[in-house]
């Protein structure tokens, strides 16, 4: 269901005609791709991206550049306040964007206040709570007796973490945050404002970051353990050698060599955002949108969400076992009919898993 999956045949009809003469054994199973495509286009897609990083690292600008429209929180607020909030807030803005008949509901989740205070202890907690709350909402919907045909998916699919371009190494705050959150959500680390670094400094910085990530056991997207086959692994290995991407964002256009391109103009030159020789924005965009979007959603749904679900059901199971008289923690919101679920969580788990897969379509 990626946008690049074009059906092999323009129409099943045409294929039938073509093979009618030559291939008796053609059944037409591959026409299902076309059906899926049509269905997906009708349904539309959902994508929830969270951006995390200190203030002033260009998060809003990068979001605007990625989706080539004003989707960031600052563009939507009528009076953008530049003050740093006292506690970390989570602000979520949704947009409906459309391209070539494909509709997408994009939600950008911003976290102003992260890492901006003098004492940043536990600044990751509100964020983890938010992510888990989204999983909880989805779980509640799922175990409903009468549930909707299509559960609205507000789970965070991808978290882009902005690393300040110091050029030396990761800060303790970065390591702490990524360590905790790589277990619940897909993290894509990027080096913000990469026009500060020369090419040698950039390479050195990336190497240092990769080593530190390895040393701390932080698994960022694409995770090694979720590679399905050799092809995947090859593609993902290439990506893994390039993370974290050094990005520059801009929503202003300039004229360069007769072309209008997005960039930043300084007195000593113009930085082109989409030029691979200047920065790696194009790679990030391809990864997030053009090639790996579906994969990101799958991993969120099938792995992170399932981990959460198993944990929650086990918790309520234990709760139930210790206090049999009390009502279990997990109560489906049906029409006033509380049902006791945890008696056979294993069977349920398997059944629900299949249903979740079908819902992902």
Partner 1 sequence: MIERPETAVPSIAQRNLEGYVGFANLPNQVYRKSVKRGFEFTLMVVGESGLGKSTLINSLFLTDLYSKDYPGPSQRIKKTVQVEQSKVLIKEGGVQLTLTIVDTPGFGDAVDNSNCWQPVINYIDSKCEDFLNAESRVNRRSMPDNRVHCCLYFIAPSGHGLKPLDIEFMKRLHDKVNVIPLIAKADTLTPEECQLFKKQIMKEIQEHKIKIYEFPDTEDDEDNKLIRKIKEKMPLAVVGSNVVIEVNGKKVRGRQYPWGVAEVENGEHCDFTVLRNMLIRTHMQDLKDVTNNFHYENYRSKKLAAVTCNGVDTAKTKGQLTKSPLAQMEEERREHVMKMKKMEAEMEQVFEMKVKEKKQKLKDSEAELERRHEQMKRNLEAQYKELEEKKRVFDDEKLHWEAQQRILEQQKLDASKTMEKNKKKGKIF
Q: What is the CB-side half-sphere exposure of residue 74 using CA atoms within 13 A?
A: 16
| Single residue of 196, 291, 294, 302 touching partner 1 by CB under 8 A | 196
| Single residue of 95, 105, 147, 171 touching partner 1 by CB under 8 A | 171
Which residues are CB-contacts of 137 (< 8 A; sequence separation ≥ 6)? 154
β 245-246/253-256 pair status: unpaired
| Single residue of 257, 266, 325, 337 touching partner 1 by CB under 8 A | 266
| Single residue of 3, 34, 153, 272 touching partner 1 by CB under 8 A | 272
Alpha-carbon distances of 306 from 89, 132, 137, rounded to whole Å = 27, 12, 13
Alpha-carbon distances of 182 from 72, 128, 218, rounded to whole Å = 24, 11, 7
Give CA–CA dist 108/50, Å, rounded. 6
Cβ nearer to partner 1, comparing 34 with 272: 272
Shortest separation between residue 271's beta carbon and partner 1, angstroms: 5
| Single residue of 78, 172, 324, 336 touching partner 1 by CB under 8 A | 172
What are the phi and psi torsion angles at 19 (to 5°)? -90, -10
| Single residue of 150, 238, 265, 311 touching partner 1 by CB under 8 A | 265
| Beta bridge partners of residue 106, listed in sequence order | 47, 95
| Prior bond of 222 cis (ω within 30°) | yes
| Single residue of 55, 92, 132, 331 touching partner 1 by CB under 8 A | 55
Cα separation of the two ends of the chain: 8
Instruction: Tell me the window of 49-57, 126-134, 141-149, 337-345 that interacts with partner 1 (CB under 8 A).
Output: 49-57
Cβ nearer to partner 1, comparing 113 with 345: 113
| Single residue of 21, 230, 268, 324 touching partner 1 by CB under 8 A | 268
Decide: is 179 part of the binding site for partner 1 (CB under 8 A): no
Q: Could you say which residues in the range 83-142 bind partner 1, by CB under 8 A?
A: 84, 116-121
Instruction: Tell me the window of 62-70, 135-143, 270-278, 280-288 that interacts with partner 1 (CB under 8 A).
Output: 270-278
Give CA–CA dist 170/243, Å, rounded. 14
Residues found near partner 1 in the complex (CB under 8 A): 54-57, 82, 84, 116-121, 164-169, 171-173, 176, 193, 195-196, 198-199, 264-272, 277-278
């Amino acid at each position: 269901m990626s946008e690049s999956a074009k059906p092999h045949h323009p129409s099943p009809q045409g294929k039938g005609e073509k093979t009618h003469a030559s291939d008796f054994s053609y059944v037409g199973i591959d026409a299902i791709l076309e059906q899926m495509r049509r269905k997906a286009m009708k349904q539309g897609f959902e994508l929830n991206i969270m951006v995390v990083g200190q203030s002033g690292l260009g998060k809003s600008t990068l979001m605007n550049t990625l989706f080539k429209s004003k989707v960031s929180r600052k563009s939507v607020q009528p009076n953008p306040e530049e003050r740093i909030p006292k506690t970390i807030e989570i602000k979520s803005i949704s947009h409906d964007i459309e391209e070539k008949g494909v509709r997408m509901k994009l939600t950008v989740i911003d976290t102003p206040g992260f890492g901006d205070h003098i004492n940043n202890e536990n600044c990751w907690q509100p964020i983890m709570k938010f992510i888990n709350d989204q999983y909880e909402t989805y779980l509640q919907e799922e175990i409903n007796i009468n549930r909707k045909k299509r559960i609205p998916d507000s789970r965070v699919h991808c978290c882009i973490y902005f690393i300040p371009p110091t050029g030396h190494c990761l800060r303790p705050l970065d390591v702490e945050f990524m360590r905790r959150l790589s277990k619940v959500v897909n993290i894509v680390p990027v080096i913000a404002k990469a026009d500060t670094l020369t090419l040698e400094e950039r390479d050195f910085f990336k190497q240092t970051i990769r080593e530190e990530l390895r040393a701390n056991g932080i698994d960022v997207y694409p995770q090694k353990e979720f590679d399905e086959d050799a092809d995947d692994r090859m593609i993902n290995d290439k990506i893994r050698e390039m993370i974290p991407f050094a990005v520059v964002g801009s929503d202003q256009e300039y004229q360069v060599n007769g072309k209008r391109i997005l960039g930043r103009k300084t007195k000593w030159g113009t930085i082109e955002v989409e030029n691979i020789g200047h920065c790696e924005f194009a790679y990030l965009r391809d990864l997030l949108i053009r090639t790996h979007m579906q994969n990101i959603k799958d991993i969120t749904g099938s792995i992170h969400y399932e981990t959460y679900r198993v944990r929650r059901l086990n918790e309520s199971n234990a709760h139930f076992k210790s206090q049999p008289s009390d009502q279990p923690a997990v109560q489906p919101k049906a029409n006033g009919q509380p049902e006791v679920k945890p008696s056979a969580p294993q069977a349920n788990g398997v059944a629900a898993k299949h249903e979740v897969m079908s819902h992902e379509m």
